[in-house]
Structure 1
C-alpha cells in the first residue's frame, strides 16, 4: 500500500511538473506572436500613435472603414472584435494605455452590447496566455468566477480553451501563419448574401442602467485626455423591438444614435451587420459629422 501511495504521489508530481513546463512553453510562444490577431498585436507592441481607435464588437469590426478616415489624414485602426463585448473592449483600451499608445479619439460601438457586462469567453480567452505577464489582465479577470482556476492551476487555461489558445494555435504561431484580422487596418468587409438573415427580434433586450465596462472606457478616455465618441450603428429594416435604441438614449444621452443612417436591406449582409457598401456610406457620415476640416 505504501509503495502504491508513493507511486501515486510521483505520478501527481510529474503531472504537475509537465503542466508547469507546458504552461511556460505555450506562454513563451504566445509572447512571440504579432500577426495572428488584434489582442496579441496590441499586447506585444510598443507605443503607437493613432488619431482614431475603433472599439466594439463585430458591429464595429464590420461597420467602420479606416481607409475613409485616413483619406482625411487620420491614422486609424479598427480594433473591433467579432463576438466581443464591452468587457474585451475595455481591456484592449487598458492595454493600449499601458503600452503608452497616444490616442486622440476613441470611437466605441455601444448599442446591443450595453445589455450585458459579461465576458465573451471565445474572445476573452485570447487574453489568457498573458495573465501571468500583465497586472492589467490579471485584475480585469479577478472577479470572474473561474479566476482562481485560470490563474493558479498551470496549463488549465490552455486546456479549457484549447480551441482558441491550444495546440493548434501554438502550431500556427510557430509556423508564422497570418490571419486576415489585421488586414484593412482591422476592418473586415462583408458582402451581400442571398440567404442573409434579414429579420431580428430584440424586444426582450434592455440596456443596463450602469454598464461597468462602458463606464470604464468613458473614464479611461477622460483621464487620458482622449476624445470619447460612443455611437449606435445601423440595423436592417425588419427588426422587432427597435425602441431598444430609444432606451439606450434615455440611459446614455451622450451616445450618438446613428441606427437609421443606413436603412435599405441591400446595404446589409445580415440584419445586424452592414455589407461593405453600407459600411462605407455609414463611415463617410461619421467622418463628416465628427472630423470636419
Structure 2
C-alpha cells in the first residue's frame, strides 16, 4: 500500500511538472505569434494609429469594407470576428488601449448581440494563451464560472479548448502559417449564394435593457476621447421579428438603425449577411452619413 501511494504521488508530481512545462511552451509560442488572427495581431503589437476601428460580430466582419474607408484617406481596420459577442468586442478594445493604440473613431455593430452578455467560447478561447501575461484579459475573465480552473490549473485551458488553441493551432503558429483573418484589412467579403436561405426568425430575441459589454465599450471610448458610432446593420427582407431593431432603438436611442438601408435579396449572401456588393452599398452609406465622404 505504501509503495502504491508513493507511486501515485510520483505520477501526480510528474503530471504537474509536464503540465507546467507544456503550458510554458505553448504560451511562449503564442507570445511570438501575430499573423494567425485578430487577437494575437493586437496582443503582439503596440502604438498603432487608426482613424477608424470596426468592432462586432460577423455582421461587422462581412459588412464594413475597410478599403473603402482607406480610399477616402481614413486608416482603418475591421476587427469584427465571426461568431463573436460584445464580450469579445469589449476585450479587443481594452487590449488596444493596453497596447497604447490611438483611435479616432470606433464603429460598433450593435444589434443581435445586444440580446446577450455572455462570452462566445469558441472566440474567447483565443484570448486564453495570454491569461497570465495580461492583467486586462485576467480582469475580463474573472467573473466567468470557469476562471479559477483556467487560471490556476496549468495547461488546463489548452486541453479544454484544444480545437481552438491546442496542438494544431500552436503548431501552425510555430511555422508562421497565415490565415485569411487579416486579409483585406480585416474585412471578409462574401459572395452571392444561389441557394442561400434568405429567411430568418428572430422573434425570440430580446435586447437586454443594460448590456454590460456594450456599456463598457461606450465608457472606454468616452474615457479615451474616441468618437463612438454604434450601428445596426442590414437583414434580409424575409425576417420574422424584424421589430427587434425597433426595440433596440427604443432602449438605446444612440444606436443608428441601418437595418433597412440595403434590402433586396440580391445583395445578401445569407439572411443576416450582405454579399460583397451589398457590403459596398452599406459602407458607402456609412461613409456619407458619418464622414462626409
Alignment of 1:1-293 (within 5 A): 1-292=1-292
Distance in 2, Cα, partners of 1:170 & 1:119:
22
Distance in 1 (alpha carbons) for counterparts of 2:123 and 2:186: 15
Structure 2 CA distance for aligned equivalents of residues 156 and 173 of structure 1: 19
Equivalenced residues, count? 293
User: In structure 1, the residue corresponding to 2:108 is in which secondary structure?
Assistant: strand
Offset of residue 204 of structure 1: 0.7
**Deviation of 1:194 (Å):** 1.5
TM-score (norm 1): 0.99
CA distance in 2, matches of 1:204, 1:54: 27
1:196 Cα deviation from its structure 2 partner: 1.4
Cα deviation, residue 195, structure 1: 2.0
Task: Find the aligned partners of 1:174 and 1:224 in 2 and give their Cα distance.
Answer: 35
Deviation string for 1:144-196 (max 9, x for gaps)?
00000000000000000000000000110111100000000000000011121
CA distance in 1, matches of 2:216, 2:61: 21
- Cα distance in 1, alignment partners of residues 244 and 228 from structure 2: 22
SS at structure 2 position matched to 1:230: strand
When the two chains are superposed, the root-mean-square deviation of aligned CA atoms in Å is: 0.5
Q: Which moved more, 1:189-198 or 1:122-131?
A: 189-198
Give the SS at the match of 1:5: helix
- CA shift for structure 1 position 131: 0.2
Unaligned runs of 5+ in 2: none
